[in-house]
């Protein structure tokens, strides 16, 4: 197990007087002792084991790995490669880690370059130690590619704790979405833990949406945090310009409200948790929107907001700043783009995900995020290393 000191952070973004900053010594970079590519973390809490399990991807070629902590994030195992039945030499990543109760887990797998045959699902019955032979993720009822990203919503029987229904979100792309095109998010349901699926629901309100993270509020409302296509003026720009909104369903996912826009651009990669008190907590990545430093470097961060009315409204005034860091390349650098065949080099220091888990005390939250604050282009144009950060905090 590796212990990383809780990393002191110097929050430099100017915030309004009502913004809350999590104490700097609550944030640590758990992969800082390694010079590896580690990114896109997903956290789940295995209550029976009192264990945090993290799915991440990295190295070259990219492949899924897991890390675990048995002391609420104080120490973490080193990344261990996920071995599944299908040998895959192309780059592939693990997505949408979901706990089904006990030691049962499921994750999605995406192989690059993306094709209709490049999306799979694998499960574990022993807390992530071993994984099943992958099976293809079924396409939509019209044969379109189902693009997964977010964990399933899992409904349990109150009496037996058995899984009675899961809901999966995904999205389809048209016209090279989201960079200058369009996308449409979908939802479908399974009553046998993902063996078979209903025909997907295509909410008209989710046109222009990609990732959708679901959470059931204490009053039964389904709340969907939605990643939005960029405003038209940012079409063909980097995907950092995509936004964040919220949609709700009061009929268990059959129909959905219009998407309420929280951020038109610059913030997304959402994760939600419902506290026992009924407070909803949403973490997200800040990839655009912070001002540059006085010497011209971009700034990135991880924030959270809360809702105290089952997702009807969000306290945007009292943003919670969980982590913040300065980029390491300023300005657009045509020479870097030419030399390394990489666009937008200044944005590689940003975040690519957030994932928040609630511990057994019902108050303590652990949020994992990806950061490239140490990234530097190598001879092959790959920006590495990339790191995983963890913040432990309470509302």
The CATH number that applies at residue 91 is 2.120.10.10
C-alpha distance from residue 374 to each of 27, 154, 327 (Å): 16, 36, 9
Q: DSSP character for 11?
A: -
CB 172 within 8 A of CB 140: yes
Cross-strand partners of 370? 388
Lowest mean pLDDT among 3-17, 83-97, 258-272: 3-17
pLDDT of 9 above 70? no
- pLDDT of res. 8: 47
- Hey, what long-range contacts does 146-149 have (CB within 8 A, 24 or more apart)? 146/119, 146/170, 146/172, 146/186, 147/114, 147/119, 147/171, 147/172, 147/173, 147/210, 148/95, 148/96, 148/108, 148/110, 148/119, 149/95, 149/96, 149/210, 149/211
Span 266-271, mean pLDDT?
A: 97
> Closest Cα to residue 281, out of 323, 225, 242, 325?
225
pLDDT of 252 above 60? yes
Mean pLDDT value across the chain: 89
* pLDDT tens-digit map of 25-73: 889 999 988 888 999 999 999 999 999 999 999 888 889 999 999 999 9
Q: What percent of the chain has pLDDT over 90?
A: 67
Determine the 3-state secondary structure of 16 from DSSP: coil
CB 13 within 8 A of CB 301: yes
351 against 112, higher pLDDT: 351
Enclosing domain of residue 49:
2-394
Span 286-312, mean pLDDT?
A: 93
> Closest Cα to residue 272, out of 221, 209, 323, 198?
221
- pLDDT of res. 3: 56
Lowest mean pLDDT among 203-207, 269-273, 313-317, 327-331: 327-331
Span 308-337, mean pLDDT?
A: 86
Query: What span, in angstroms and rounded, lies between the C-alpha atoms of 225 and 11?
Result: 26
Residues 6 or more apart in contact with residue 266 via CB below 8 angstroms = 240, 241, 243, 286, 287, 288, 289
* pLDDT tens-digit map of 318-332: 999 999 998 888 776
pLDDT of 78 above 70? yes
- pLDDT of res. 159: 85
- pLDDT of res. 163: 94
Residues 6 or more apart in contact with residue 265 via CB below 8 angstroms = 230, 231, 234, 241, 242, 243, 288, 289
β-pairing, 80-81 vs 75-76, is unpaired
Q: What percent of the chain has pLDDT over 70?
A: 86
pTM strictly above 0.75: yes
Cβ neighbours of 215 (radius 10 Å) = 20
Cα 341-268-246 angle, rounded to 5 deg = 150
pLDDT of 179 above 80? no
Span 3-17, mean pLDDT?
A: 59
> Closest Cα to residue 369, out of 94, 37, 40?
40
Count of domains forming the chain: 1
- pLDDT of res. 20: 84
CB 282 within 8 A of CB 296: no
- pLDDT of res. 339: 59
């Amino acid at each position: 197990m590796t212990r990383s000191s809780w990393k002191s952070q110097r929050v430099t973004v100017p915030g309004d007087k009502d913004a809350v900053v999590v104490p700097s010594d609550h944030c640590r970079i758990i992969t800082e002792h390694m010079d590896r590519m580690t990114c896109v973390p997903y956290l789940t809490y295995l209550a029976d084991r009192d264990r945090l399990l993290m799915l991440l991807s990295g190295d070259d070629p990219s492949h899924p790995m897991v890390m675990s902590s048995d002391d609420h994030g104080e120490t973490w195992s080193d990344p261990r490669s996920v071995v599944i039945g299908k040998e895959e030499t192309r780059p592939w990543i693990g997505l949408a880690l979901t706990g089904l109760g006990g030691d049962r887990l499921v994750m999605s797998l995406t192989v690059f370059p993306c094709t209709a045959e490049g999306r799979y699902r694998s499960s574990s019955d022993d807390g992530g130690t071993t994984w099943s032979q992958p099976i293809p993720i079924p396409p939509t009822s019209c044969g379109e590619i189902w693009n997964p990203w977010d964990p399933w919503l899992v409904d349990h029987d109150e009496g037996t704790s058995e899984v009675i229904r899961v809901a999966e979100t995904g999205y389809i792309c048209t016209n090279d979405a989201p960079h200058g095109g369009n996308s449409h998010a979908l939802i479908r349901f399974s009553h046998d833990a993902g063996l078979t699926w209903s025909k997907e629901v295509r909410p008209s309100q989710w046109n222009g949406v990609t990732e959708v993270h679901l959470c059931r509020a204490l009053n039964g409302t389904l709340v969907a945090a939605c990643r939005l296509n960029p405003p038209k003026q940012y079409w063909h720009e980097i995907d950092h310009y995509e936004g964040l909104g919220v949609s709700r369903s009061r009929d268990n996912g059959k129909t959905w409200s219009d998407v309420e826009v929280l951020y038109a651009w610059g913030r997304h990669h959402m994760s939600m948790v419902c506290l026992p008190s009924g407070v909803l907590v949403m973490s997200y990545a800040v990839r655009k929107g912070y001002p540059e430093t006085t010497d011209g470097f971009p700034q990135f961060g991880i924030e959270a907001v809360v809702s105290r009315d089952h997702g009807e409204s969000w306290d945007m005034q009292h943003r919670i700043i969980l982590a913040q860091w300065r980029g390491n390349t300023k300005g657009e650098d045509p020479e870097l783009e030419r030399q390394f065949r990489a666009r937008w080099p200044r944005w590689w220091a940003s975040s690519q995900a957030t994932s928040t888990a609630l511990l057994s005390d019902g108050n303590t939250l652990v949020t994992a995020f990806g950061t490239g604050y140490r990234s530097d282009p190598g001879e092959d144009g790959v920006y590495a290393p990339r790191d995983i950060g963890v913040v432990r905090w309470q509302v």
